[in-house]
């Protein structure tokens, strides 16, 4: 048996750096995860963007989850995001009728993601927003943030959470309108322009 003298710092080699995963890419994504709005709904909007690392490079294997209320501000209670065939256990897809408010999207090779959903209504004193959870390489714990949609500046100015965020970073929580019904929201994990992330206790 070989013994190692640990009393001297020079005798102990450092353990190599290692990140966890991303193992979730195997089972968590599901077909149609980006189609949150019922098919053909006239009020469907598209929210899209990129997940970027601290140097602004896109992450091709991140996972973005979205949850949001319906246009009336009420949280949906309908099942149906990930229906399974009771006989085979295979994924049947959404039923295309109920709005569940939930979606899960894997970024593509360019780090891009998109979702088709319904514009959320305001809840309480909050401006309309969609909750976001991000999984990505090197993250031991997933990150939470919000996507606020532009259009009601008075509501954004008085939103309880936005009003507590440093004004210089507030824009990292507000999507940019690109055209009728299309909004862009990039998620920067760190570095310059880092997205504001939330911690729940």
pLDDT band at 3 (very low <50, low <70, confident <90, very high): very low
pLDDT at 8: 57
Measured from the Cβ of residue 80, the count of other Cβ atoms closer than 10 Å reads: 17
pLDDT (tens digit per residue) in 141-155:
899 999 999 988 999
What number is the average pLDDT over the span 55-60? 93
pLDDT at 170: 95
Sheet holding 102-106, edge to edge: 102-106, 63-67, 129-135, 143-148
| Lowest mean pLDDT, pick from 21-35, 88-102, 151-165 | 21-35
Q: What are the DSSP calls for 18-66, one per residue? A: ------TTTTS--TTTTB-SPTT-TTEEEEEEEEE-TTS-B-TT-EEEE
What number is the average pLDDT over the span 148-168? 93
pLDDT at 157: 93
pLDDT at 83: 72
Q: Is the pLDDT of residue 138 over 70?
A: yes
């Amino acid at each position: 048996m070989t013994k190692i003298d640990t009393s001297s710092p020079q005798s102990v080699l450092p353990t190599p750096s290692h990140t966890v995963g991303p193992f979730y890419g195997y089972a968590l994504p599901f077909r149609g995860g980006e189609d949150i709005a019922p098919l053909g709904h006239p009020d469907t909007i598209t929210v899209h963007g990129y997940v970027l690392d601290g140097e602004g490079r896109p992450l091709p294997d991140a996972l973005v989850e979205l949850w949001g209320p319906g246009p009336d501000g009420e949280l949906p209670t309908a099942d149906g995001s990930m229906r399974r065939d009771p006989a085979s256990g295979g994924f049947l897809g959404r039923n295309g009728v109920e709005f569940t408010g939930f979606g899960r999207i894997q970024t593509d090779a360019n780090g891009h993601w998109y979702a088709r959903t319904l514009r959320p209504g305001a809840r309480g004193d909050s401006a309309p927003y969609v909750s976001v959870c991000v999984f990505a390489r090197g993250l031991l714990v997933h990150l939470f943030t919000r996507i606020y949609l532009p259009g009601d500046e008075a509501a954004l100015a008085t939103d309880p959470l936005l009003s507590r965020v440093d004004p210089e970073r507030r824009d990292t929580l507000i999507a940019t309108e690109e055209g009728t019904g299309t909004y862009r929201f990039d998620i920067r994990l760190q570095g310059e322009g880092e997205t504001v992330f939330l911690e729940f206790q």
